[in-house]
Amino acid sequence: MNNDPEQLAEELAQRYNPKGLSPFPFENILQDKQELEILQIDLSTGLSGAILFNPNSNKFRIIANRNKSETRQYFTIAHELGHYFLHSDLIKSEEGFIDGDGN
């Protein structure tokens, strides 16, 4: 997989969203990546989302704060997918990343 973020984003968009749909159809990625799931749940107000790795199940879980605006949730999911595609080995070793947004 390509490590240049911009080029990788273009490749992933072509692969998983060739029609350029908005919002991005994240379910296309989930169909291809069985080790990945996306959850939208209530999180404390300062957290936007996270990507976690469970070594027992060998699965990644992206979490987006459903208390945030829909636009923010889509951004958070896309951001966490960036971590997944660019840094999955690091996520595995750290067992996750958590992102705040300062709100």
Q: What was the pLDDT predicted at 2?
A: 62
pLDDT in the model for residue 32: 96
pLDDT-above-70 percentage for the chain: 89
Cα within 13 Å of Cα(46), Cβ side = 2
3-state SS class at 91: helix
The reply to whether omega before 55 is within 30° of 0 (cis) is no
Token representation of residue 17:
């969203």
Sheet holding 96-100, edge to edge: 36-41, 59-65, 47-54, 96-100
Question: How far is it, in rounded angstroms, from Cα 39 to Cα 4?
Answer: 27
pLDDT exceeds cutoff 60 at 101:
no
2-6, 35-39, 41-45, range with greatest mean pLDDT: 35-39
Residue 43 confidence class, pLDDT cut points 50, 70, 90: confident
pLDDT, tens digit, 9 for 90 and up, residues 24-40: 999 999 999 999 999 99
Residue 95: pLDDT over 80: no
64: helix, strand or coil = strand
CA gap 24, 42 in Å, rounded: 22
Query: Is a pLDDT exceeding 60 seen at residue 85?
Result: yes
Strand 47-54, strand 36-41: pairing: unpaired
The band of 94, judged by pLDDT with boundaries at 50, 70 and 90, is: confident
**Gap between the terminal Cα atoms of the chain:** 34
